[in-house]
A and B are shown apart, each in its own frame.
Chain A
């Protein structure tokens, strides 16, 4: 047990204890704790196991860069299988468990793998398991993965917000606050986002403008919209930044994560820098921590992580940690890589300092118990100067500016030897960089740089001629004269195990192996060794890794470069990204005007082309085939009622309407008389049939198009595109009025009786087949078209949508019986009418359907005409639309059954069945299909193949009932 809570200090509220469990054990923390600080305060050392070698792992850092403390956390109904303990705020009743180690994280049998580490270096799996990978894979998969996801549905809703600001400041440290303060003074809207619940200045101490930093911080953001617990994770095009806010107080049913999409006219990036560790032998033990994290646990949470601390560093900042530790009563020893630490040594009277030294070894199987200090050029592990007992090794190898967002936005990076860091170079979007991100390394320079960035952002938005407001730079005491950092990347002891990536178990030796095997580019290094590909995304390991690679391959670090930075900066919730786009809102279904009527009749509603429509209307104890047969029979013998409101309706008007539509459609439509309808095809430029439907001419310059319901939007888009891009001089406009009308088809032998009881001023007696007329129906404006999709005498009545339900009820009351899409499909199949997308696909040409007449008759050009003359369009063996009659009249083949023939002993497809049903009108099964050279094969017998089952059928005409069409014209 090493860590403990001090009786005072920190921002936690000792008056509000919070109970939680770790591995089932009840522990206690305080309000304001993170899960990590609470665990440390309770002396917890081992929180997990590393991925490959299953070595024990302890908490390493205090923020988003934490690589080891990935835990399974449950609070109430919320469960996170991979929670980063340093970002989890402690809550009453929280249950945390380790996710690795069996039987427990403390005693893990798989640590035996560590004994075999010599044989499983980076990339070992590429060099073995051939053959036999499939045998080993399940075991390897079981060993991999972090937490275990639950498969129960997640009932929470996720909120999304869009925001628009003049200036977005990312980062709430000194620089970010100074930037926000400077910007808001210019009366522009400013938003500041920071990933922490509590801003860093609240606990880091210091004096700014004569007051405590914490107080100055509160003043600085007056007038600024502040989002805390908010991680900016993606910097996209158009200066749009995606931010994930973790809210402490989401409303019931709503998830705590809220996604913001923030569009800013100017962005100030003050994202700070993350400390990187020094690399030394056996540096992965629990108890090795970042020096800045040790300091933060003390200052923010009042936790002293260890009683005896060895600090190993190559720069001044760790001395601040040392001083704080001494003040808290810890024993401190310092190994400084530099031959002369300089003035900072004065801060740590009471600490033993070893200059030109580093740690060359550590001991302690379940947590550090000693550190061996030796010379920086040690080549053997026995060259130690001193073996220092300790429970914590706090390491500081320099600072890596968090350039992720800057790089995502398209900015270029440059390696700065003096800073030993990649710094932002030329940016591409409207942005400014400030603070540690830009290389500032003390409070005073961060404040200055932030102030300047904020002023520049505001200036970029200021109208010409207006003056900047007066505002002084915030002042803080300048840091004592610094001794420069000395780059030191690893200890030159051959054979020593020195870790770079703690979660994925990538060591310096692995980088050496990659270099030797020619995986020298940084992307190859990353992919081959998996350095930086764990859930901490290499925040504390990437630069160390590529510095090692650069050294091994004789390149400068800048020359070696970095991997591309891509979103997200830190892992973000998938549910929050999807937001409310799920279920019906993912792809909203349209409802018919008479939707409630169909539900009242217990219709089976299904999705067809983006609409919810009645498939059939089952009666009590009826199974679907019986329902469909009953409905179809009823249409043929009595009268049926069908809701066709989803069919498209596009009004086309203008002096050039006729000429334009003639350019679009396959069929001649310019010679259509007012009051008449024509069945038409619409082709793509490739000649493929896009849609069929009916075109009605209402007046000389006015048409009504009726595309199929699933294609309306596409047809409208096609008309608009051709008009706007190719024929803009033609005077014609298109109105999509699909939604404004309800349309019902009444058809069958008794249709006349039904319609006699419908009050209308439209003369049905004089309405010819394929005619249309307007007038009033039941007192409201309406149209009646005489057109049939069933082969029975049929009238389509249209009224404004709001009157639809009432008209439907009236027609029902007159004795028309409802039928749905499934029975319509049977009825039209009996007549050989095609269904686009069922009998046709993306290869079907008009000639394949037997519809070449219109082409011969049409003299003008139209979309797709040229493609009908290609060699492929003129092939004799194209698949053609025909009917098929199975030899067994009681057998209904599955749709998708192929017709096949034997060629050299191998079965070859001749085509397939596209529609198949029991036909009530003929009392037997009928099929429609696309068969090679089908029309020439009428009368032939073919073999049918369906998943191994073979049967036979005869090819025939696709019209099975009333071939002469007498019923239509009666």
Chain B
């Protein structure tokens, strides 16, 4: 069994009894407009960073709400941060080529059969999935850990 450090940042992975009004620590925004980023890149922006989603859209992970057509999706996406065995998990969970997740790049693909946004930051692997699907990702990660 491998020791997998699983750090869940978005509090919507489970409402704790003790804290009825939970607020995600990191805000996420969909921003549409002319962002000027190259496809599949992660750019530094004020207060955080932005992941390319489409030629006209980025996901801004930042405390400062950006300008333009912005929708706050902080409560709609969970972010999993994996610090160990990321390469093995990627090999098991998706078919991305190795180079697709070099530092500074991001990718949208199926991971463990779920639509996900993936990127690396400071050596850790970040996986964003829709909050409604997080129980499945959690189950998958727990099972995958036993195979490592």
Query: B-contacting residues of A (Cβ < 8 Å)?
Result: 157, 159-164, 251-254, 261, 263, 580-581, 584-586, 588, 590-593, 596, 611, 651, 653-654, 733, 735, 737-741, 778-780, 800-803, 805-806, 809
Contact = CB atoms under 8 A, between A and B. Distances in A.
A586 B113 CA distance: 8
A49 to B, nearest CB: 40
B76 A737 contact: yes
B60 to A, nearest CB: 12
Interface string B21-58: 11110000010110000000000000000000000110
Contacts of B32: 653, 733, 735
B146 A806 contact: no
Nearest to B57: A733
A803 B130 CA distance: 16
Nearest to A163: B91
A800 B75 contact: yes
A-B pairs with lowest CB-CB distance, top 8: A740-B76, A739-B76, A733-B32, A590-B132, A806-B20, A800-B75, A801-B75, A735-B71
A585 B136 contact: yes
Nearest to A165: B98
A809 B30 CA distance: 29
Most chain B CB neighbours (cut-off 10 Å) among A592, A735, A778:
A735
Nearest to A735: B71
A157 B143 contact: yes
Nearest to B10: A802
A585 B12 contact: no
A593 B71 contact: no
Interface of B: 11-12, 15, 20-24, 30, 32-33, 56-57, 69, 71-77, 90-92, 94-98, 112-114, 130-133, 135-136, 139-140, 143, 146-147
A779 B21 CA distance: 10
Given A164-B97, A803-B21, 8 more contacts: A162-B95, A251-B146, A263-B95, A580-B112, A596-B15, A739-B77, A801-B76, A806-B21
Contacts of A581: 113
Given A740-B75, A801-B75, A585 B113 contact: yes
Contacts, number: 116
A596 to B, nearest CB: 7
Given A159-B147, A809-B20, A651 B71 contact: yes
A254 B146 contact: yes
Contact of B97 (A263, A738, A805): A263
A740 B72 contact: yes
Contacts of B90: 162
B139 to A, nearest CB: 7
Contacts of A654: 69
A41 B97 CA distance: 47
A588 B30 contact: no
A802 B147 contact: no
A802 B22 contact: yes
A782 to B, nearest CB: 12
B109 to A, nearest CB: 11
A590 B130 contact: yes
Nearest to B95: A162
Contacts of B113: 580-581, 585-586, 588
A808 to B, nearest CB: 10
A592 B132 contact: yes
A801 B133 contact: no
Contacts of B139: 584-585
A849 B55 CA distance: 40
